[in-house]
Amino acid sequence: MNERERFLATARFQAVDRTFLLAPWAWGSTIDRWRREGLPENADLAVYFETDRERGAPVATQGRYGPHLHPPLERKVLSQTDEYCIVRDEDGNVVKLFNHDPLQSMPQWLEYPMKNRSDWEKIIKPRLDAKIPGRYPQEESWSQFVQAAKNRDYALGIWTGSFYGWPRSFMGVERLSTMFYDDPGLVHEICEHIADFVIELLTPILTQIQFDFAFVWEDMGSKSGPLCSPVTYREFALPPLKRVTELLHKHGIDIVIVDSDGNNDVLIPLWLEAGVTGLRPFEVAAACDAVAIRRKYGKSLIIQGSIDKRALAKRHEDIDREVLSKVPWLCLQGGYFPQVDHLTPPDVSWENYRYYSRLLRKVVEEPERYLYEARKRGFWRE
């Protein structure tokens, strides 16, 4: 099988030569450590570990921590010390960044660009306009991309917006949480406009390229549950999300995966109702149990992630336990893409990550053997 065939078969619970292996996922500071400990200076992690290829369309919808506003606002340094700087970024956020590590760890948000309807109408809404040029590459580059996509042997996906995550990025959790009650009309307007924007932006692309999968970025889970109730999500986010998934399904994209950290268990039925077919990254620290979710939802939900990143910083036996306690069985069920449950942190050594990667490859190539091994070592019980 080539990589595209392997991706599609894995996601569709079909027979595969082996489960699709996603590329390594790590913070920049982690990669810096690994280079000090033996990773070749210019090595690409995906190439180094020979993982399968998946790529995204070069369309500016999703930014680093939320929507990609276009045209961008002017970036401005507001203050600076020897340790950190405070910046108003291109999306209008005021953030605190370490000078030595400005892009390799999460910033601290001090202020959001939207506080009221006026900010929505003057700052945000005009920058979510599909008619403004610049979200696609130049015409010649785009034509080359389209031609390459038609002849590809790798998986190709596209980002498709967000109906809690983006509004939260505009105004912050607290303001959005109160706005659901204080100005529900504005929240409805924002969510419907996002759907309008995404549909207008993506429709011409979907007629040119047959994509394999799509991502919806919500990032709305905390350690114990989502940042809004299922009732609230149903009222505000579900209708516009359905509009987007209907467009995707119309164009043959049946693999639609929500990206949301934390625990989102109570939202899974709503996402399935909306036409979503998968979820990532199933953070173990947030009590996400991929085995239990597979048993509950069967073949209706694709699972990506679920390998506890914290275990990779421990002993080899702890890594064995974490991988063997779930990955062999999940691979045998299908619809599972094993991966760490978020970016690998810098407390994971290069030696440990190499050990984990070698083990993971052996498991996906021989899941029956390693399920037997898990039973024998007491890592798996029916």
Tokens of 320: 């064995």
Q: Which amino acid is at 156?
A: L
CATH number of the domain at 3-70+121-376, out of 3.40.50.300, 3.20.20.210, 3.20.20.70, 3.40.50.261?
3.20.20.210
Average pLDDT of the chain, as a whole number: 96
Is it the case that residue 173 has pLDDT exceeding 90?
A: yes
The residue with greater pLDDT, 303 or 28, is 303
Q: In whole angstroms, what separates CA 280 from the centre of its chain?
A: 6
Q: Give me the pLDDT at residue 103, please.
A: 66
Cβ–Cβ < 8 Å for 114, 107:
no
In this prediction, residue 138 carries a pLDDT of: 85
Amino acid type, 27? W
pLDDT tens digits, 234-271: 999 999 999 999 999 999 999 999 999 999 999 999 99
3 state SS of 202: helix
What is the predicted pLDDT for the residue at 86? 96
**pLDDT class of 106 with cuts at 50, 70, 90:** confident
Q: What is the pLDDT of residue 65?
A: 84
The residue with tokens 């990667």 is 357
Q: 256: left (phi > 0), else alpha (psi -120 to 50), else beta?
A: beta
**Please, where in the chain does CATH 3.20.20.210 lie?**
3-70+121-376
Cβ contact 294:303 at 8 Å: yes
Residue-wise pLDDT for 300-344, tens only, equals 999 999 999 999 999 999 999 999 999 999 999 999 999 999 999
